[in-house]
Structure 1
Amino acid sequence: MVYDVSIIGSGPAGLSAAIYAKRANLSAIVIEKEYEGTGQIAESSRVDNYLGMPGISGYDLGETFREHAVKLEVEFLEQEVTRIQKEESGQFQMTFSDSSVIESKTVIYAAGASPRRADIPGEKEYVGKGVSYCAICDGSFYRGKKVAVLGGGDTALDDAGYLAGLAEQVYVIHRRKEFRGAAATVEKLREKENVTFVLEHQVKEITGEAKVTGVALEDGTAIDVDGVFVAFGSVPQTALVKDLVELDPAGYVKADETGETSLAGLYVAGDVRTKKLRQVVTAVSDGANAATAVAEYLK
């Protein structure tokens, strides 16, 4: 069987694409490498910014998305794609880790991006309990509290600026004296009374009990905080398509809101795409747009 569309990734973008593909009467298959996976959203202890579902856990939100797709009889395949190839016929062939293959007329690539980790003691233990990788997602939980932002690039500086409007105190901890991020942003942060720069220092450990209570620096200094935002940026999962489509300098796939890439028939959706805001709501929107674009392409 040749599917109308193969959707790689079962996070919010992929599941949204699947729902819209089914509603457009397309034969679609969702390929996921994790058993009944729903993407990174499952790691969030609480999601407060998805319309109509305030306070829902990321796991429950992901399961709700998946149940919707299952009710529409979306086909799922638990496999890891190791190669995507466009054939002379114009169709796509997906090769899996067990050497099996399937073919489809189009592909929606929704493999997402992963946050860069700090890889320090306490980080894994307190994810969802004070450690976060997304200031826009979780910043509101720290209104009037003290937080630390780790990093010196644009992600860290932008997160610090956002959090300064919510938190009582923001500590920007960076291992160097100079920042990689925009100098103009640094100057704006220096003007804020509740932002403190802790430069030429590294966090040795994130400390806490039931939740985060502070960070320990390598020189023995301890800073009391209620939350730690690891802001080292993200790693787009684009290895499979880097030789097929055009990427931006950061490694994300260049595509507008239709998800159309530089290779006809291959679309992207979600965090893997070049864009400013990477949230559940934008991933869902991307999936809908990509599936709609696929339907028009196939006509």
Structure 2
Amino acid sequence: MSVVELRPSPADRDAIASAIRTIQAETVALGALEKALNGPLGRNVARAVERMAACEGRIIVTGMGKSGHISAKISATLASTGTPAQFVHPAEASHGDLGMITAKDVVLALSWSGESKELAPILAYAKRFGVAVIAITSRAKSALGRAADVPLILPASKEACPLGLAPTSSAIQQLAIGDALAVALLERRGFTSDDFHVFHPGGRLGARLQFVRDLMHEGAEVPLAPRGTRMSDAILAMTNKGFGILGVTDENGGLCGVITDGDLRRHLHDGLLALTVESVMSGAPKTIEPGVVASAALDVMNGAKISALFVVDGKRPVGILHMHDLLRAGVV
């Protein structure tokens, strides 16, 4: 059966070319942002991180229109990485939502032009109650730029939109600087995968951040046999436990080797049943610790092309984790 190659139509080619131009324009904008961070913008980013890290309340993120959508995402990223944050819609602020802002907070306000009139009540409120304002804008002399304690002035950016109107490249810059602030704060706080799991218990991400100790089999379920065990007994133990693997322990109870189905096949013609486990086992087995996240266990299994890992505390086996456990938990 011949394969017919479908060639893109002129309309398809136009769409692809447009998509490439958009990505290129936004890539240029990000390059300009990176360059700017080596100058005054970078110094002000450091000041902003300092203010945000010292904040005793929350980071109040606000913006109107597309900047508002970016603000909401930045707020969510901050909150999920250990920095308490809340999005306040500027149009709702003067209708009661100013009460969400306290003197212990820091305001992070976004406006590309810096002239969004909806931000005025928040800026006036911040000035009245001594709330620090960090601005993300493209114009230092705008109303927002002048009102800010720490202005983050983004470089000029050509929008991908052929009309130069729809926020595209500018929105990407706003999002990128917001992510940069969140990651810098994450690193400053020493935020770990354990902390991340607290805020992300659901979905596949939450599953991947579960700990090995939460998924492993332990106690009598762990297939183990001491050195000196005859293979006739070892095979029964392997069969009864159902993991297709057996751990071999030394005189101190430490894991010194493993026997897999492959090891059994390799020794079928060596009088297998009469041998002892140390004659058949493979040394230096792959292991993992109980406090490691499940995604790391998956990486070890995939890298070694194995389907089970013994879980050890030091050298002592305390559990076993099978690929099926990761599948059931949604890690894979």
Which structure carries more relative contact order (alpha carbon 8 Å, separation 6+)?
1
Q: Which has the larger radius of gyration?
A: 2
Q: More helix per residue: 1 or 2?
A: 2
Same fold (TM over 0.5): no
TM-score normalised by L of structure 1: 0.24
TM-score normalised by L of structure 2: 0.22
